[in-house]
A and B are shown apart, each in its own frame.
Chain A
Amino acid sequence: AQKITQTQPGMFVQEKEAVTLDCTYDTSDPSYGLFWYKQPSSGEMIFLIYQGSYDQQNATEGRYSLNFQKARKSANLVISASQLGDSAMYFCAMRTIGNEKLTFGTGTRLTIIP
């Protein structure tokens, strides 16, 4: 069975600062993928970034990067130069090879302060 743990229920960050959202995972499967989603107050889930278990480099997408530490089973999301529009819920999720389902963490509510 897979498990995703997000230990930060809420975070407050000053605008323009970088922020790290924590995610640890547990699986016995050697082949897996990790996803981060953003959910604004409107409700839709927006896919941000993906990291595969065999990827040699940390994933980056614009201001988003993933700090992937395989031995520690962590996949933290880093948002650089935060903006007011980054205020949202953020979810970490995992999928193992051959499994169509995603397992989600409990989420972190990020609030950017002007």
Chain B
Amino acid sequence: DVKVTQSSRYLVKRTGEKVFLECVQDMDHENMFWYRQDPGLGLRLIYFSYDVKMKEKGDIPEGYSVSREKKERFSLILESASTNQTSMYLCASSPARGRIQETQYFGPGTRLLVL
């Protein structure tokens, strides 16, 4: 069974704090993704990594950075959290150059509240 885990299910932070969201997958997948989910907007891609130390901006990278030092771990960093970053954050992974029908595998999500 593919397993994608996220470090926290719920997180409450103050404006201006540095926030780390961690994601770990155990299927040796090359690709890892960070999305944020907001009502009425669906899932929007923040960053994508296709290999260790490699990253690519998604649709909404502003205010975020990422780190991928090991293949199984992909971190999302909010350098200075703001209230408009209150959201649900979902991590996903998939094999590189997989078959087109290969789904992404999602973690349980982190609900972040920035006060």
Contacts and interface: CB of A to CB of B under 8 A. Distances in A.
Which residue among A31, A93, A97, A100 has the maximum number of chain B CB atoms within 10 Å of its CB? A100
Interface residues of B, number: 28
Interface of A: 4, 6, 9, 31-33, 35, 37, 42-45, 47, 50, 52, 91, 93, 95, 97, 100-102, 104-107
B100 A95 contact: yes
B103 A35 contact: yes
B74 interface: no
A100 B100 contact: no
Given A43-B108, A43-B109, A104 B103 contact: no
Nearest to A95: B100
Given A43-B109, A44-B109, A101 B100 contact: no
Contact of B42 (A50, A95, A97, A107): A107
Nearest to B99: A33
Contacts of A95: 100
